[in-house]
Structure 1
């Protein structure tokens, strides 16, 4: 019987990693890296850094990240940037962090787009620019990054770096809330309670505060208690029944 064709060292390595065959995963990533694939080098570096199939070695991992970045791995650039940002095994350098992370963002790496947006929003290693931050959050959000979608919604809600658009903000929060993301649940609940971009609805607001609280959002308990104090017993019972019957969607709607 013919053997199945290999998907290539990178994909083979990922498959073996999922199967917890760490030794052969490392071999596959090393093979891909030797053939010039930077992303294979990134995954090998990650295994070394986290001690997956190896004794953890942050110095060796950083050297591998540098080599992988030189071969074009945006993921490796982002990780190196985070090391500079946090001062991990290297001198803290916000400018170097911004250069690496935002270069990776421009290459299409979702995590880097999210991180670059945060740097631009806070003015770390680059000029503070909410409009640039919004642009990166929007790009990552459109490609399914949950944190970026929440930040896009938050900036649209306040009109930071973009025109205020409450209806768009509430739609984005609702998308994340449908999946059970606690930040999205809380943001959607706030907008429902206040009638921002949507008709005020205390029962639905209670439902989503309740769900956010169950998922550990730090502000949800106080918000839930405050809102509950203003509702009738019938409204509270309705909201609690909805919470008991609520189930997350399988996937988000398109932005």
Structure 2
């Protein structure tokens, strides 16, 4: 009896050990519920289509450049988020993906809905599209509304509108103010366009020193045209003491980025000295690129 009882106990223990082992294996094989759960559609949309220009984006995810949008994944996530009643941010992101996919009509419809939700960067993009259709008054009004929220892209576009008289009377002073506001927010185009206005002196007073400063800001942020124009100012001594070495360095930076004019400045074509000698000194001065010939 004792041996039989012991056998029964051993069998029970073996069964228990087997059960525990199976449960342990199952626990290892199955991931936790948290790890297995995918992102919610709204979060997936944010992760796949957030724009660097969108100050209202989900900062938990890195912004995605237009050319890097994975259209299939992003479109699926953003459509699902929209169908689930997500907010204007995901509606804008859906519009962004649709536009990248070449579906401009649907993109514009989604942008309009995002604008109704007061999404700033959607206002800017929608303004551009209605401006292309000729409604410049509404375009300008949307730039104003979006710029009031602090959106950098809107500030820059508002500067362009005031400079060129798009949907409003041209106003150089206000254009310069909005370009400077965009520049303060580290926008290279805002800095460059303000520098051009100061360099030209047609809509606001000419100021070579300030022009050079804003060209440098734009150049430091990678703007190639600013590198070229700053190089010319350094070469000619405009707003500063002429510095041929610094000018050459600036041209080299622009040349490295593929600018043809800058490349010609650091490796000028061979000149026929006999022909050059026959050119009057007053005519030789015309070989220097004047301000009017600069990149705008």
Using structure 1 for the length normalisation, give the TM-score. Answer: 0.72
Q: Is residue 170–residue 188 contact of structure 1 (8 Å, CA) maintained in 2?
A: yes
Task: Decide whether aligned partners of structure 1 residues 174 and 71 sit closer, same or farther in structure 2, where only a CA change above 3 A counts.
Answer: same
1:134 deviation in Å? 1.0
Unpaired stretches in structure 2, ≥5 consecutive residues: 1-31, 50-63, 272-296
Task: Decide whether aligned partners of structure 1 residues 104 and 6 sit closer, same or farther in structure 2, where only a CA change above 3 A counts.
Answer: farther
**Counterpart residue number, 2:209:** 167
**Counterpart residue number, 1:15:** 47
Q: Is residue 195–residue 212 contact of structure 2 (8 Å, CA) maintained in 1?
A: yes
Unpaired stretches in structure 1, ≥5 consecutive residues: 230-255
**Counterpart residue number, 1:64:** 110
Determine which structure has more spread, i.e. the larger CA radius of gyration.
2
SS at structure 1 position matched to 2:34: coil
**Counterpart residue number, 2:234:** 192
Aligned length: 221
RMSD over equivalenced CA pairs, Å: 3.3
SS at structure 2 position matched to 1:144: coil
Which string of whole-angstrom CA distances, capped at 9 and with x for unpartnered residues, describes residues 58-116 of structure 1? 221111110010001111111111112223xxxx2222222222322222222221111
Using structure 2 for the length normalisation, give the TM-score. Answer: 0.63
Please state if 1:39 is matched with 2:89. yes
Following the alignment from structure 2 to structure 1, what is the Cα–Cα distance between the partners of residues 221 and 243? 20
Following the alignment from structure 2 to structure 1, what is the Cα–Cα distance between the partners of residues 122 and 222? 30
Paired residues for 1:77-96 under 5 Å: 77-87=123-133, 92-96=134-138
Paired residues for 1:1-255 under 5 Å: 1=32, 3=34, 12-17=44-49, 22-30=71-79, 31=81, 35=85, 37-51=87-101, 56-87=102-133, 92-159=134-201, 164-217=206-259, 219-221=261-263
